[in-house]
């Protein structure tokens, strides 16, 4: 459970850092991440600073493309590695995360969705996409053909 908590924190931190790129919160984000990596030595700090500057330049140049999710995955791996090596960095990353979300605004905060079903219940959910659920007696039942009603009983 602790590892899962650290993984979620690393993912949130990465999302915040990438969201801050090309915004007014960038300076604070960059400085905070560099400060986090001081735990791994001066050379690593300098490497992280160069990487942050390079990534920020790419985001500024590319604009709003699919680059951000890929970049967030890279930063998630870097932050996850840092937290694995030094779980004490958790508090500092959480503080930075709180500061960054305040700086980038609510519009860029990640959305968390929790869906639960109990007993014989069924739960379906989707974020930022489409979901088509078919009523059937088993998960293996094939979906209806194009144009066919979803509930065959009500079509009679």
Task: Please give the Cα distance from 107 to 12 (Å, whole number).
Answer: 15
Longest alpha-carbon distance in the chain:
73
**Residue 72 in contact with residue 15, Cβ under 8 Å?**
yes
pLDDT 10s digits, 81-130: 999 998 889 999 999 888 887 766 544 555 566 777 788 777 777 665 66
**DSSP, res 108:** G
- Rounded CA separation 156/152 (Å): 7
Q: What is the pTM of this model?
A: 0.64
- Looking at residue 1, what is its pLDDT? 46
Q: How many CB atoms lie within 10 A of CB 49?
A: 15
């Amino acid at each position: 459970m602790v590892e899962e908590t650290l993984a979620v924190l690393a993912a949130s931190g990465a999302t915040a850092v990438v969201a801050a790129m090309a915004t007014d919160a960038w300076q604070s984000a960059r400085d905070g991440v560099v400060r986090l990596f001081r735990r791994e030595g001066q050379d690593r700090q300098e490497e992280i600073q160069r990487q942050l500057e390079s990534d920020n330049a790419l985001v500024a140049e590319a604009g709003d493309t699919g680059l951000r999710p890929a970049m967030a995955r890279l930063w998630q791996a870097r932050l996850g590695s840092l937290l694995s090596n030094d779980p004490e960095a958790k508090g500092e990353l959480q503080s930075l995360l709180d500061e960054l979300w305040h700086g980038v605004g609510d519009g860029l905060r990640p959305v968390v969705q929790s869906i639960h079903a109990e007993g014989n219940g069924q739960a379906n959910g989707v974020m930022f996409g489409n979901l088509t659920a078919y009523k059937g007696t088993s998960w293996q039942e094939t979906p209806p053909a194009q144009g066919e009603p979803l509930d065959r009983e009500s079509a009679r």
